[in-house]
Chains A and B, each alone.
Chain A
């Protein structure tokens, strides 16, 4: 419960209507998309502008109350779960696209703007904002920036980080600072823009961002290749890249996923296929045509059992069906769906998938793997039931092994979902003691009272994921 004194101060800044500490109001912000994590905040505030954010954060800093910035709460790492209570900051008033600058090819947005709204707005002007996380219909740009989200177009176009060029940040002491600018080049001091991208709300609050845009590609083509052999699919991926083609999208589904999808949507996928590759290329019509032909040849030379190239938008739509339904089909299998994002160098995809299959067998689990093959970013997914404690324990052990294996292969524990609380215990695997110490030093320098999203990224102890109580 908040002290009356603090309550009054917060209300004085945002008004009664933008402060809520009712039970129902707090419960609605006690969770995000992470399975099995829930904790009540003490209150929820919705500031209307940067100055209000600054005033609010000063109050929180004075009383050392945790601050949990929240977009739409679609993250999968427990990033917005107020594990230590405190105040949830919402950006529902700060949700405007402020400017689309066609001369400098930039867009300036408030943190609460919805990703897809920006994508649509810039495309209407013949421009393109490539980062397209699967959650873009509901996720906010503030959330995307703080998780450094990726998407299906990451292989060719990079991730959110590659498009953030300037930020307005409110620091934990209430100072308002700006980093970067509408500049292609800028070496004035430390690159704070980069530091804040992917900082998961642990360093400050982003109140405005300027994003880079690119011209919208003229056309796009889609193809689908089926394989009886996992390695052959992986070799196709390597060969495509080695022949100097960078497709927009290079998605992969394994046999377990194909089976589940076919069961659910019945589109005639052969369930004995070991792998499916969904490939898309965009650009000028001539280049796209040439690339698609070349990739078709490569897939065939690697013994793909079938290669289909879409001749129309509708056909393209059909070819992407399996990939689009992957998550839905998996999510419907069991009450709980645990989706991870271990990532390895592209060349290790086949090894990683094989390792995942072995681990699944060892722990007697159904692990379905799909993901962004071109980026080496895989989504091993377990349909399970959070009420089954025994199985949850096996799930946990399996994922621990998957993370260890990924790091062993030169990869990482998370490619795009972030560390949050979910993966905090494993961060050391990737960074080592020294890496953690250096990161903690940065955190302490900017947020000495540890009010910003405490408990995230850095594990207090070696507490394991999944089994955290309510």
Chain B
């Protein structure tokens, strides 16, 4: 519940803080409607469309409506996938509007105690601290290895959680041990002649739960002729904070990362998680009002590149022979990689270059899978409907391998496969893992 008083402050803050030019820039042409997953999945509700959400934000600024429960629901149900941006003739930066709106609501609303506790632990206590992330992931590993997992499953503890979370627990990857996670070198030379010097943004989820994928990423970079710097002081990208209305938290993380990567004398900063990458390239917007950091943020942003993009540009797929036993492979776009980082054809070209396989494009591969950060947990119902559609399209390709480019999407696709009882026929993998598997030694 939001109290009347809270509504009043939220409304005032909307007036003060929302970018009116950007709101007005939406000419309400409706060109974004067919691209919005929540508009489609809600049965074409304008309140669940980009145009509708922008109109609602503007109406709160103009005082036409109060920021009531329905208003919050409309914003909460947005995936933040930003599929509405590339199709917008006016170039409305919807992502920025959404982030600001969510931040205002979050800063001015008292969450219920349990929600507050969880938020505090996650946003302040966990993600900003790589070592704690490792510990938690470590605990998960202990849970998996010790047999506790079996006990918990047998006792039906997981039934207490929303369905998506319960299934999610089953699909989480086998996590590495604490020792594996801590042993990260700070420099890795290239294999063969060095053509580029890059820094690697490891990402908090990627460097813990998906450590193997990070290792694979570095191997591919080495093969592509890159020498790699991995600065120790880097932190979480801040996306989870930014998208959940914890803007101040994300600014601090941004500064820490800019500092960590600043003086490395590298050509690019490489990420292998579309979600992180998209947030990193937005640092200049995040810090636009901070004169000390603004320009440094621009320098940082200009260096960000996704792993697929750099491999493609470095002709990795032409230089290295790639081959796999026959299988049908399909690719699910990471929304942020596609819509914000504008990397869509590189991963496809890399996959097509693998000998022996059949690459099949699925229908609406560019539509969100419903993962969207913690969306699949907090908006479970909508998320599962979106996932069901995604699985239908995946199945139609008869693919046995579904490739993604972001940890959230990867988990969500694994979840989809598990829900459809297809785990013996279909696998979901990160693009770098399948590429490394295909490298002919």
User: A192 CA to B43 CA in the complex, in Å?
Assistant: 33
User: A95 CA to B44 CA in the complex, in Å?
Assistant: 11
A137 part of interface (Cβ distance < 8 Å): yes
Select from chain B the residue with minimum beta-carbon distance to A331: B90
Select from chain B the residue with minimum beta-carbon distance to A337: B27
B59 part of interface (Cβ distance < 8 Å): yes
Given A92-B43, A331-B90, A335-B25, the answer on whether A24 and B70 have CB atoms closer than 8 Å is yes
Select from chain A the residue with minimum beta-carbon distance to B46: A28
Select from chain A the residue with minimum beta-carbon distance to B22: A335
**A114 & B34 in contact (Cβ 8 Å cutoff):** yes
B435 part of interface (Cβ distance < 8 Å): no
A294 part of interface (Cβ distance < 8 Å): no
**A32 & B91 in contact (Cβ 8 Å cutoff):** no
CB distance from A396 to the nearest CB of B (A): 18
Select from chain B the residue with minimum beta-carbon distance to A44: B46
CB distance from A452 to the nearest CB of B (A): 22
A259 part of interface (Cβ distance < 8 Å): no
CB distance from A217 to the nearest CB of B (A): 26
**A386 & B24 in contact (Cβ 8 Å cutoff):** yes
**A32 & B28 in contact (Cβ 8 Å cutoff):** yes
**A72 & B30 in contact (Cβ 8 Å cutoff):** yes
**B27 & A331 in contact (Cβ 8 Å cutoff):** yes
CB distance from A402 to the nearest CB of B (A): 20
Q: Out of B29, B44, B55, B74, which one reaches A92, CB within 8 Å?
A: B44
Contact partners of A138 in chain B: CB under 8 A: 29-31, 33-34
A327 part of interface (Cβ distance < 8 Å): yes
User: A34 CA to B70 CA in the complex, in Å?
Assistant: 25
User: A331 CA to B31 CA in the complex, in Å?
Assistant: 13
Contact partners of B29 in chain A: CB under 8 A: 33, 74, 135, 138
Q: Among the interface residues B25, B27, B33, B49, which one has the most CB atoms of the partner chain A within 10 A? A: B27
**B59 & A27 in contact (Cβ 8 Å cutoff):** yes
CB distance from B68 to the nearest CB of A (A): 7
CB distance from A110 to the nearest CB of B (A): 13
Select from chain B the residue with minimum beta-carbon distance to A88: B46
**A72 & B91 in contact (Cβ 8 Å cutoff):** no
User: A90 CA to B64 CA in the complex, in Å?
Assistant: 22
Contact partners of B24 in chain A: CB under 8 A: 335-336, 385-387
A35 part of interface (Cβ distance < 8 Å): yes
Select from chain A the residue with minimum beta-carbon distance to B32: A138
Q: Out of A28, A337, A385, which one reaches B47, CB within 8 Å?
A: A28
User: A324 CA to B64 CA in the complex, in Å?
Assistant: 35
A125 part of interface (Cβ distance < 8 Å): no
CB distance from B288 to the nearest CB of A (A): 19
Contact partners of B45 in chain A: CB under 8 A: 28
**B30 & A28 in contact (Cβ 8 Å cutoff):** no
Over the window 90-129 of chain A, the binary record of Cβ atoms lying under 8 Å from chain B Cβ atoms (1 yes, 0 no) is 1010010000000000000000001000000000000000
**A135 & B25 in contact (Cβ 8 Å cutoff):** no
Q: Among the interface residues B33, B45, B46, which one has the most CB atoms of the partner chain A within 10 A? A: B46
Given A92-B43, A337-B27, the answer on whether A24 and B90 have CB atoms closer than 8 Å is no
CB distance from B382 to the nearest CB of A (A): 16
CB distance from B287 to the nearest CB of A (A): 24
A22 part of interface (Cβ distance < 8 Å): yes
Contact partners of A114 in chain B: CB under 8 A: 34
Select from chain B the residue with minimum beta-carbon distance to A264: B91
Contact partners of A29 in chain B: CB under 8 A: 46
Over the window 19-55 of chain A, the binary record of Cβ atoms lying under 8 Å from chain B Cβ atoms (1 yes, 0 no) is 0001111011111111100101000000000000000
Select from chain B the residue with minimum beta-carbon distance to A25: B47
B361 part of interface (Cβ distance < 8 Å): no
Task: Give chain B's interface residue range (CB within 8 Å of chain A).
Answer: 20 to 34
User: A27 CA to B63 CA in the complex, in Å?
Assistant: 12
**B30 & A27 in contact (Cβ 8 Å cutoff):** no
User: A95 CA to B33 CA in the complex, in Å?
Assistant: 15
B168 part of interface (Cβ distance < 8 Å): no
**A25 & B70 in contact (Cβ 8 Å cutoff):** yes
B66 part of interface (Cβ distance < 8 Å): yes
**B70 & A328 in contact (Cβ 8 Å cutoff):** no
User: A90 CA to B43 CA in the complex, in Å?
Assistant: 12
Contact partners of A90 in chain B: CB under 8 A: 44
Contact partners of A22 in chain B: CB under 8 A: 70
Those of B61-107 within 8 Å (CB) of chain A: 62, 64-66, 68, 70-71, 74, 89-91
Q: Out of A32, A92, A327, A470, which one reaches B89, CB within 8 Å?
A: A327
User: A35 CA to B52 CA in the complex, in Å?
Assistant: 15
Select from chain A the residue with minimum beta-carbon distance to B71: A24
Contact partners of B21 in chain A: CB under 8 A: 335
A73 part of interface (Cβ distance < 8 Å): yes
**B30 & A73 in contact (Cβ 8 Å cutoff):** yes
Those of B316-375 within 8 Å (CB) of chain A: none
Select from chain B the residue with minimum beta-carbon distance to A326: B89
**B47 & A24 in contact (Cβ 8 Å cutoff):** yes
User: A327 CA to B87 CA in the complex, in Å?
Assistant: 13
B56 part of interface (Cβ distance < 8 Å): yes
User: A74 CA to B29 CA in the complex, in Å?
Assistant: 5
CB distance from B250 to the nearest CB of A (A): 27
User: A72 CA to B46 CA in the complex, in Å?
Assistant: 9
CB distance from B193 to the nearest CB of A (A): 35
User: A335 CA to B68 CA in the complex, in Å?
Assistant: 27
Contact partners of B34 in chain A: CB under 8 A: 114, 137-138
**A23 & B66 in contact (Cβ 8 Å cutoff):** yes
**B68 & A24 in contact (Cβ 8 Å cutoff):** yes
Q: Among the interface residues B25, B29, B90, B91, which one has the most CB atoms of the partner chain A within 10 A? A: B29
Contact partners of B25 in chain A: CB under 8 A: 331-332, 335
**A135 & B47 in contact (Cβ 8 Å cutoff):** no
**A328 & B28 in contact (Cβ 8 Å cutoff):** no
Q: Out of A95, A135, A470, which one reaches B31, CB within 8 Å?
A: A135
User: A72 CA to B33 CA in the complex, in Å?
Assistant: 9
CB distance from A261 to the nearest CB of B (A): 12
Question: Which residues from chain A sit less than 8 Å from chain B, CB to CB?
Answer: 22-25, 27-35, 38, 40, 72-74, 90, 92, 95, 114, 135, 137-139, 327-328, 331-332, 335-337, 385-387, 470
Question: Which residues from chain B sit less than 8 Å from chain A, CB to CB?
Answer: 21, 24-25, 27-31, 33-34, 43-47, 49, 52, 55-56, 59, 62, 64-66, 68, 70-71, 74, 89-91
Q: Shortest 10 CB-CB distances between A and B: which pairs?
A: A335-B24, A28-B46, A24-B70, A328-B89, A92-B44, A331-B90, A28-B52, A28-B47, A138-B30, A74-B30
A-B contact pairs, 26 of them (CB 8 A): A22-B70, A23-B70, A24-B71, A25-B47, A25-B70, A27-B55, A27-B64, A27-B65, A28-B49, A28-B52, A28-B55, A30-B55, A35-B27, A40-B64, A72-B30, A73-B28, A73-B46, A74-B29, A328-B90, A328-B91, A331-B25, A331-B27, A332-B25, A336-B27, A337-B27, A470-B62
Besides A24-B56, A24-B71, 19 more A-B contacts (Cβ < 8 Å) are: A23-B68, A23-B70, A25-B70, A27-B56, A27-B59, A33-B28, A38-B64, A73-B28, A73-B30, A95-B44, A138-B29, A138-B30, A138-B31, A139-B30, A328-B91, A331-B89, A331-B91, A332-B89, A337-B27
